[in-house]
Amino acid sequence: MPSATRTPAPTATRTPAPTGWNPPSNLVTPLNEVWQHVESTYGNLYGFRNYGWDQVIAGNGSINYCVRWDSDAPVSAALRDQIHASLARQFKKWMDAMLDNGQGTNGWPYTNVNIKVVGWAVRDRNTLQWSDNSFDIYVNNIAENAPQCAPPCGRFFNQDGDYSDCPGGFDHHYDMSLWLTKGMAGGAGGDWGQRVGSEYFVNNLNSENIHIFLHEVGNTFGLDDFYDWTPTGINSFIMNAGSASQITDFDKWMLRDFWRHLKNRYGY
C-alpha cells in the first residue's frame, strides 16, 4: 500500500510595499550622483530643520510671505496684487512637481500649497500707495542695508514656531521673505526666502517662468547649485543656473529625491 504523501502548503507571496520612487531609467544614475554629492558636501544635511519642506509641513500646507521692498519705486495696489499673484503662480510650479495625476507622490500630503503674503517692509511708507490695513507694514526696520519684516514674526528667527512676540501672533507670522532689490542681477535663496532684482521680478510678472526666482526656490527646498560639475548626461536644468529657463524633468526628480530622503522625519 503506497504511503501517504503530504502536499506542501503554498508559500505566501509577499508583495513589497510601493515606495513611490520610480524615476525614469535614464535619470537613475545622475540622481544617485547628485544625492551622493549632497551627502558629501552639506554640513548638516539631515540635522537641518528649516528647509522649505519643514516650513510647508509646519504650516499644514501653507506658506506666508513678507515682501522686502528694497527699492524706492512706488508700489500701487494693483502692482502689489500682481506681485502676489506672480509669486504664488511661480511657487506652485515646484509644488506641482510633487504631484502625479493630481495626487501627492511618495507620501507627499498636499495637493495644493497655499501661498499668502501677509506683510511688506519698506524704508518709506509713502512708497506703498495704498492706505488700507490689509497687510502688515514694516517701515524703516533695516537689516543687511535693506528694509526687513519684524523678526519676532519671522520663522527664520523663530524656528520653534513660537510667535508670541509677534503682534497678531501666528496669523501674522511669515515663513519666508520675497526680497526684491533695486538694480540686483542674479539671485539668492535659502531657508529665509528668495532675493532677486525688483525690476527683474516686476518686468516678468506675466512671464510663464521667472527662472531666476524659480532657481532660488529650489535652493529653499534644499536643492544644490551646480557651479563646478554636472551629473552624467544632464546639462540643461534650472538648478544649473543659466542652462534652463524652466523646471525640467530632472529638477522635478531631484526635488522628489530630497523629499524621499527627508519624509520620514514627518512620519511619511
Q: Alpha-carbon distance 35 to 32, whole Å?
A: 5
Q: Which of 239, 135, 129 is nearest to 178 (CA)?
A: 135
Residue 139 has pLDDT above 70, yes or no: yes
pLDDT tens column, 180-214: 999 999 999 999 999 999 999 999 999 999 999 99
Query: Cβ–Cβ contacts within 10 Å for residue 26, how many?
Result: 12
Provide the terminal-to-terminal Cα distance of the chain, rounded to the nearest Å. Answer: 60
Q: What is the mean pLDDT of residues 247-262?
A: 98
Look at residue 19 in the predicted model and tell me its pLDDT: 62
Look at residue 259 in the predicted model and tell me its pLDDT: 98
Q: What is the mean pLDDT of residues 87-101?
A: 98
Q: What is the mean pLDDT of residues 51-79?
A: 98
Angle at 140 between CA 72 and CA 154, to 5 degrees: 110
Q: Which helix (H) or strand (E) holds 120?
A: strand 114-122
Q: Which of 214, 264, 266 is nearest to 238 (CA)?
A: 214
Q: Are 201 and 180 in contact (CB under 8 A)?
A: yes
Q: What is the mean pLDDT of residues 256-261?
A: 98
DSSP of 13-60: PPPPPP-S----HHHHHHHHHHHHHHHHH-TTTTT---SHHHHHHHTT
pLDDT interval class at 167 (50, 70, 90): very high
Residue 76 has pLDDT above 80, yes or no: yes
Look at residue 152 in the predicted model and tell me its pLDDT: 98
Q: For the chain, what is the mean pLDDT?
A: 93
pLDDT tens column, 5-25: 343 444 444 434 446 899 999
- State pTM to two decimals: 0.92
